[in-house]
């Protein structure tokens, strides 16, 4: 690769590696193709496993398909930077520009929501009807398809990223401090998840939603989300301890297995049941910057900040 890779996804059977101004598509036969949709840098990306949506410093929101075709979904009239993007079911798309969140619903209507501060992260609920927007002092939950008033989940501090649990019962944010914060949506009860050595830059739920896998320490940290209370009053599990910090996590789409990328380039596959580890990549040049499973879990895309990229066949 020509330069660092900051994100990776699978679009069907095609691996997509995101660089500064382009997306490199790797087909199953090993052919590489670089495609562009922005006049400038790509600042944010998201994928639903079929399509990739990106936001750039040219004010554009662009959607890519596995064939490399691109479509401009939206363009900011003042060419303001697109800070965050999200994609939900039926290709619903949301993005943020400073203190403004925007969305295109499944019926094609455009909606706008003014926020109390700049968006730190966007995520659609599993059914795609609700959007969570992380920002300073909490999260806003917004039904972008309706005129229903948004709901605020409050917790002091800067919230930088957000995820829904697969069942839609919980919302969790990564904060500027080395902690996570979560809410149970049925009653708004909150939970604080601490004990990290550094910021949590990567988090993902396992396929069944029983565990939240996170980076931020010299091991894989797993928070239990079984039952109605999630991690309330419970301690996390720590697996795959190592001398370097975990930078990226990616959960297998079918099994309770987590790929963990570390700061020295090491990648381990960790089975949650018994903590067994399989070496997927030896330490190399630069931290692991991106990991992505294909839809069956038979392929794993790996990329680093030094621009190295590879695909492991696990079938």
- 139-166 pLDDT, tens digit each: 999 998 777 889 999 999 999 999 999 9
Q: Domain segments of the chain: what residues? A: 1-82, 88-305
Confidence at residue 240, expressed as pLDDT on a 0 to 100 scale: 98
| Residue listed under structure tokens 């697969």 | 166
- 276-291 pLDDT, tens digit each: 999 999 998 899 999 9
Model pTM above 0.85 = yes
- 66-114 pLDDT, tens digit each: 999 999 999 998 999 999 999 998 888 999 999 999 998 666 778 999 9
Confidence at residue 80, expressed as pLDDT on a 0 to 100 scale: 95
Confidence at residue 128, expressed as pLDDT on a 0 to 100 scale: 79
Confidence at residue 168, expressed as pLDDT on a 0 to 100 scale: 94
Confidence at residue 148, expressed as pLDDT on a 0 to 100 scale: 82
The CATH code of the domain at 88-305 is 2.130.10.10
Show the low-confidence residues of the chain (pLDDT under 70).
105-107
């Amino acid at each position: 690769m020509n330069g660092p890779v900051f994100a990776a996804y699978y679009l069907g059977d095609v691996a997509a590696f995101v660089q500064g101004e382009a997306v490199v598509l790797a087909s199953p036969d090993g052919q590489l193709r670089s495609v562009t949709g922005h006049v400038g840098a790509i600042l944010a990306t998201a994928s639903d496993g079929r399509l990739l949506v990106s936001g750039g410093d040219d004010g554009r929101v662009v959607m890519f398909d596995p064939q490399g075709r691109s479509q401009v979904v939206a363009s900011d009239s003042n060419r303001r930077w697109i800070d965050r993007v999200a994609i939900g079911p039926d290709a619903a798309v949301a993005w943020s520009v400073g203190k403004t969140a925007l969305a295109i619903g499944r019926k094609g209507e455009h909606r706008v929501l003014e926020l109390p501060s700049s968006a730190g992260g966007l995520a659609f609920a599993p059914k795609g009807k609700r959007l969570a927007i992380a920002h300073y002092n909490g999260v806003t939950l917004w039904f972008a398809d309706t005129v229903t008033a948004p709901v605020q989940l409050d917790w002091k501090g800067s919230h930088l990223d957000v995820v829904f649990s697969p069942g839609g019962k919980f919302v969790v944010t990564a904060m500027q401090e080395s902690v996570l914060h979560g809410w149970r949506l049925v009653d708004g009860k909150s939970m604080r998840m601490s004990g990290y050595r550094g910021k949590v830059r990567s988090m993902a739920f396992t396929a069944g939603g029983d565990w939240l896998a996170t980076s931020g320490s010299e091991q894989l940290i797993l928070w239990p989300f079984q039952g109605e209370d999630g991690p309330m009053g419970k301690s996390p599990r720590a697996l795959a301890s190592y001398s370097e910090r975990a930078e990226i996590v990616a959960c297998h789409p079918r099994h309770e297995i987590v790929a963990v990328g570390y700061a020295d380039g090491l990648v381990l596959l960790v089975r949650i049941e018994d903590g067994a580890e399989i070496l997927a990549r030896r330490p190399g040049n630069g931290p692991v910057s991106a990991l992505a499973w294909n839809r069956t879990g038979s392929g794993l895309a790996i990329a680093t900040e030094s621009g190295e990229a590879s695909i492991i066949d696990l079938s």
